[in-house]
């Protein structure tokens, strides 16, 4: 039976810990090649995936990794005692470009959860050789405009979530993490910013809303990824506004563990990802990262974009807010400060709706014998019209 060789760039948008967690469940006998150095390999292996090879990819130039990737793929394909490789599955645009430029005769399929601000360079004739499947309903048009052949979209529910204990069952973890963040009151609202990928504009918008809520007498603690652009400058602005305007204190904590919902979910009350304008965000937040937070029992406050709307039921496991409406965000934050049980109830609903994983194992499209490269829809999925996706 043929196997699949997965090519993963863990540093690419949408390829963070949530995707690695899902691949660790779905991998079976498949091979995995990492684009990145030893640190990236160790990070992936820590999530439970088995890495068969690695390519130290030149930063921002994935096509230069193609010759090295070709050598690694040949080694993987000729591994003794294992079945032949029937296709290569790339999990980001960078991985897709590297795989298409490598010297092999195996079909290449792309599964893309998020896109980077600037598309990687690739010859048009190479681009046309791959069929690309957006994960979630939002990024298909962006991929089509970049010249990719778009197949049917993948649902975030096609990806299993790791079994996690709900935060109410991990009070020790909750108290310990919150103590590290300087959170004193048991009912103080702790808000995390989704970090796959980190966004400076989302952080800036959230800081402004949090400062306004503080002036209105509702303090909170905001946890963000230190890799967010202009993060330190945003922290200084927050401190200055607190001193000038008064009101309740709003604390900003930088913690890289926010990239891993399983680690910090017990201490977080709500996760936020907000868009400042209705223009397409670059890069957009990964739908897999959002679902990972929900599966860990953390409700989501987000702009009402298609990816988020495919996951969240407004008022049940999160809130969908009008894009760019900062006043709505402020009102929701103040209500959650005033009613701590609201975040708890939404968290239980999020864990119940998203924390069950896949009961039937691998989705059909990941099974080589059940999937046609011509783009046959998998069971339970609607086929995406490539022409419609480009509009």
pLDDT in tens, 104-161: 889 999 999 988 878 888 888 898 889 999 999 888 998 999 999 999 999 988 898 8
What is the Cα 301 distance to its own chain's centre? 15
pLDDT of residue 216: 85
pLDDT over 70 percentage in the chain: 82
Residue (of 94, 125, 151) closest to 283 by Cα position: 94
- What pLDDT does residue 109 have? 94
Non-local CB neighbours of 49 within 8 Å, separated by 6+ positions = 20, 23, 24, 27, 32
Assign 171 a pLDDT band (cuts: 50, 70, 90): low
pLDDT at 185 over 80: no
Q: Give me the mean pLDDT over the 303-307 stretch.
A: 88
Report the range out of 193-207, 258-272, 374-388 with the highest average pLDDT.
258-272
The CATH code of domain 167-354 reads 3.40.50.2000
pLDDT band, very low/low/confident/very high, at 234 (cuts 50, 70, 90): low
- Second-level CATH architecture of 3-159+358-389: 3-Layer(aba) Sandwich (3.40)
List b or e across 255-278, with b for residues whose CB sees 16 or more CB atoms inside 10 angstroms.
Answer: bebbbbbbebbbbbbbbbbbbbee
> Which pLDDT score is estimated for 63?
85
> What pLDDT score was predicted for residue 299?
95
Q: What is the pTM of this model?
A: 0.86
CB burial of residue 106 (10 Å; 0-12, 13-18, 19+): middle
Q: What is the pLDDT of residues 340-353, one digit of tens each?
A: 999 999 999 999 88
The whole-number pLDDT of residue 372 equals: 47
pLDDT of residue 386: 32
Task: Judge whether residue 40 has pLDDT over 50.
Answer: yes
Q: Does pLDDT of 42 surpass 80?
A: yes
What average pLDDT does the segment 189-202 reach? Answer: 79
Query: Do residues 51 and 188 make contact, with C-beta atoms less than 8 angstroms apart?
Result: no
Domains 3-159+358-389 and 167-354 share a fold: yes
**Could you read off the pLDDT of 60-101 as tens digits, one per residue?**
788 889 999 999 999 998 888 788 888 999 999 999 999 999
Mean pLDDT for all residues in the chain: 82
Q: What mean pLDDT comes out for the span 205-225? A: 85
Q: Where are the domains of the chain?
A: 3-159+358-389, 167-354
Bigger pLDDT: 324 vs 99:
99
* Higher local confidence (pLDDT), 320 or 250: 320
The answer, yes or no, to whether residue 369 has pLDDT greater than 80, is no
pLDDT in tens, 268-298: 999 998 887 666 666 677 899 899 999 999 9
What would the pLDDT profile of 22-33 be if each residue is shown by its tens digit? Answer: 999 888 889 999
- Identify the band that residue 391 occupies on the pLDDT scale cut at 50, 70 and 90: very low
- Give me the pLDDT at residue 374, please: 44
């Amino acid at each position: 039976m043929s196997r699949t060789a997965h090519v993963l760039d863990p540093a690419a948008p949408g390829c963070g810990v949530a995707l690695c967690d899902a691949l660790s469940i779905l991998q079976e006998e498949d091979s995995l090649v990492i684009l990145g150095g030893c640190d990236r390999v160790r990070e992936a292996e820590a999530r439970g995936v088995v890495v068969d090879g690695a390519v130290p990819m030149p930063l921002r130039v994935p096509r230069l990794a193609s010759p090295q990737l070709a050598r690694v793929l040949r080694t993987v394909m000729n591994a003794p005692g294992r079945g032949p490789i029937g296709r290569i599955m790339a999990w980001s645009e960078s991985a897709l470009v590297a795989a298409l430029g490598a010297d092999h005769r195996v079909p290449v399929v792309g599964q893309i959860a998020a896109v980077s601000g600037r598309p990687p360079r690739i010859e048009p004739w190479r681009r046309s050789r791959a069929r690309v499947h957006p994960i979630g309903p939002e990024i298909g048009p962006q991929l089509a405009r970049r010249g990719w052949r778009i197949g049917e979209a993948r649902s975030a529910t096609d990806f299993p979530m790791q079994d996690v204990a709900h935060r109410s069952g991990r009070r020790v973890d909750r108290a310990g993490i919150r103590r590290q963040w300087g959170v004193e009151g048991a009912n103080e609202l702790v808000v995390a910013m989704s970090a796959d990928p980190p966004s400076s504009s989302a952080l800036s918008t959230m800081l402004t809303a949090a400062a306004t809520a503080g002036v209105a007498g509702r303090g909170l603690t905001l946890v963000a990824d230190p890799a967010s652009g202009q993060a330190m400058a945003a922290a200084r602005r927050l401190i200055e506004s607190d001193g000038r305007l008064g009101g309740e204190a709003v604390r900003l904590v930088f913690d890289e563990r926010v990239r891993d919902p399983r680690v910090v979910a017990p201490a977080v009350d709500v996760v936020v990802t907000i868009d400042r304008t209705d223009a397409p965000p670059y890069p957009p937040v990964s739908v897999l990262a959002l679902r990972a937070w929900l599966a860990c029992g953390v409700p989501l406050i987000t702009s009402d974009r298609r990816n988020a709307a495919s996951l969240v039921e407004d008022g049940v496991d999160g809130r969908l807010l009008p894009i760019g409406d900062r006043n709505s965000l402020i009102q929701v934050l103040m209500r959650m400060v005033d009613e701590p049980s609201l975040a708890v109830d939404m968290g239980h609903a999020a864990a119940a709706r998203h924390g069950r994983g896949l009961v039937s194992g691998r989705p059909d499209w990941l099974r080589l014998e059940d999937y046609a490269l011509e783009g046959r829809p998998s069971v339970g999925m609607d086929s995406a019209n490539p022409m419609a996706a480009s509009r």
